[in-house]
Amino acid sequence: MFKHNLALLVAALVPFAKAQNETAEAAVSFLFPDYCCTVLSLSPLRERLLFPGQSAFESRVHSYFDIKQQSLTPNCLVQPRDTKEVALTVKILTTASILKPCKFAIRSGGHTPYAGASNIEDGVTVDLQYLSAVQYDAKNNLVKVGPGARWNDVFTTLEPLGVITTGGRSSTVGVGGLTLGGGISYFSPEHGLICDNVLEFEVVLADGRIVTASKTQNPDLFTVLKGGNNNFGIVTNFKFGTFKYDGMWGGLVAYPESTIQDQFKALINFSNNIDKNLKAAAIVMPVYQSAVGSNLILNTYDYAEPVPRPAAYNEFFAIPGNVSDTTGLRNMSSLAVELKGATTHSVYFGTLTFANDLRVMTEAHNIFKDVLANLKAKATGDWGIYVLYQPLPPAYTRNSAAKGGNVLGFERFKDQVLCLYQPYISWQGAQQDALFQGAGADLINRIRAYAESIGADNPYLYLDYADKTQDPLKSYGPENVQKMKAAAKKYDPHGVFQNLVPGGFKISKVQ
């Protein structure tokens, strides 16, 4: 049916194009301003389409985490219901591209904070919202999860069964994007990065084939999907390993800004001792919110057993004067809801890695105070900055190779304990984009320069936190870049995911 319709369309168009002495592409654009959506509407996917103006379309677009992503208007959304429909979507869009390129975006949770990562202007957004089933397989100690699921769906399904998997720390974030960039979980000290807990990916390739990538099937594809994002195909299902779960202890504790040196000292020792405390996770976050008007240090403490006030945090507990404290015996799902993402602001994320070194943290905080003072002088409306300092210890990737490997390149760092740095800045009003994005870039560039000046720098850039202007794929090192280039060539020889999918970080652009 679809082939017949497309053939009719092409038959009608080609003479028209010739008569106008035009390229077929120009003729197609003239006749059908949203040609690619027209082609989809001639296919069995017609019932899966949403168009601008329809309320379901508008509410989906407004569900992106970042306002800049919400501001893009695709010509249509296609919402496949299963893997076969994803494969058909890819086949139709690539076939139709013979006449005019059908550019598309791939969206899971929509939490990337820069425009165009998972939405598109004048193109098609492939929205995986309905591939969101979470199915526990007790016999094989695994859970099958669709990419469009939010982490909340995973935790609330597994918790009552007394099992869990490594998952994101915020309830609203998508499984698809987070996992393909690496994925840091409260369970990572003991169980590793989230991508390394994938036992099997189901993937739709550029030619519409549905394949499995695992340690034994397409193992090269398996490895590059762990960090390589959307360069190789659309992942339509994840099988994650599961483990026993009895609850957690944790929450958020806020302190006055004057405690920052003690916070850094505690974090450094905490990170250096993570191998002795594999259940313990912590993040230190200097925070400023215009609505509150005071500088605070907000810490997350999260312990993977229901143990009140675990000794792993003793150095933090010795810091007096906290102004609020939500810690207690909790569930992963409730901890994740406490960090859920809003959809009301434009957001900047950026990333940097450096040594677990008090000098860098101290200087980073001085630079932060300087950048903050500039923002306080110029910014308007509701805005805020969170600066995350978190451990990046060898424990996160120690078992990666045994699990089939990833492309993040941590082997290069041997037993070094690192610190992962991330400014998370939010504001309102497009006229302030340059101010806030400039502030984020300023933080990253100045801190990097300082770290380099004392030999405490590190090349790794975490893709899931990277700004559009950064090059996380290159930061994995030349060997991994080669692996990704080879896999892209092998599994997508015509470069569909390089040329027709402009969003995300593209391996073909890495020098």
| Binding partner selected for residue 331 from ligand FAD, ligand NAG, none, CB under the kind-specific 5 to 8 Å limit | ligand NAG
Q: Which of residues 259-278 bind ligand NAG (CB under 6 A)?
A: 269, 273, 276
406 counts as binding ligand NAG under rule CB under 6 A = no
Rg for the chain, CA atoms, rounded: 23
Q: Please, which residue, 128 or 268, has the CB nearer to ligand FAD?
A: 128
In this structure, what is the dihedral angle of CA atoms 88, 89, 93, 96, given to the nearest 10 degrees?
50
Contact residues for 497 (Cβ-Cβ < 8 A; gap 6+): 206, 230, 231, 232, 233, 488
Residues that bind ligand FAD (CB under 6 A): 65, 106-112, 117-118, 128, 147, 168-170, 173-174, 176-178, 180-181, 183-184, 229-230, 234-235, 341, 464, 503-504
Q: Which of residues 128-187 bind ligand NAG (CB under 6 A)?
A: 159-160
244 counts as binding ligand NAG under rule CB under 6 A = no
Q: Please, which residue, 30 or 317, has the CB nearer to ligand NAG?
A: 317
Letters for 86-105 (x = contact with ligand NAG by CB under 6 A, - = none) are --------------------
- Is 107 in contact with 149 (CB distance < 8 Å)? no
Q: Which of residues 329-388 bind ligand NAG (CB under 6 A)?
A: 329-331
- Is 249 in contact with 309 (CB distance < 8 Å)? yes
Strand segments (E) across 37-129: 49-50, 76-78, 104-107, 124-127
For every residue of 154-209, DSSP letters joined together read HHHHHGGGTEE----SSTTSBHHHHHHH----TTHHHH--SGGGEEEEEEE-TTS-
| Binding partner selected for residue 508 from ligand FAD, ligand NAG, none, CB under the kind-specific 5 to 8 Å limit | none
Q: Quick one: which of 361, 357, 278, 267 has its CA closest to 316? A: 267
307 counts as binding ligand NAG under rule CB under 6 A = no
Q: Quick one: which of 50, 51, 39, 44 has its CA closest to 101? A: 39
Report the sign of the C-alpha dihedral through residues 354, 355, 356, 361, in that order: negative
Q: Quick one: which of 43, 210, 211, 40 has its CA closest to 127? A: 40
- Is 499 in contact with 462 (CB distance < 8 Å)? no
| Binding partner selected for residue 317 from ligand FAD, ligand NAG, none, CB under the kind-specific 5 to 8 Å limit | ligand NAG
* Contact residue for ligand NAG among 247, 256, 429, 502 (CB under 6 A): 247
| Binding partner selected for residue 327 from ligand NAG, ligand FAD, none, CB under the kind-specific 5 to 8 Å limit | ligand NAG
| Binding partner selected for residue 159 from ligand NAG, ligand FAD, none, CB under the kind-specific 5 to 8 Å limit | ligand NAG
| Binding partner selected for residue 45 from ligand FAD, ligand NAG, none, CB under the kind-specific 5 to 8 Å limit | none
Q: Please, which residue, 246 or 452, has the CB nearer to ligand NAG?
A: 246
Output the smallest distance, CB 315 to ligand FAD, in A.
23
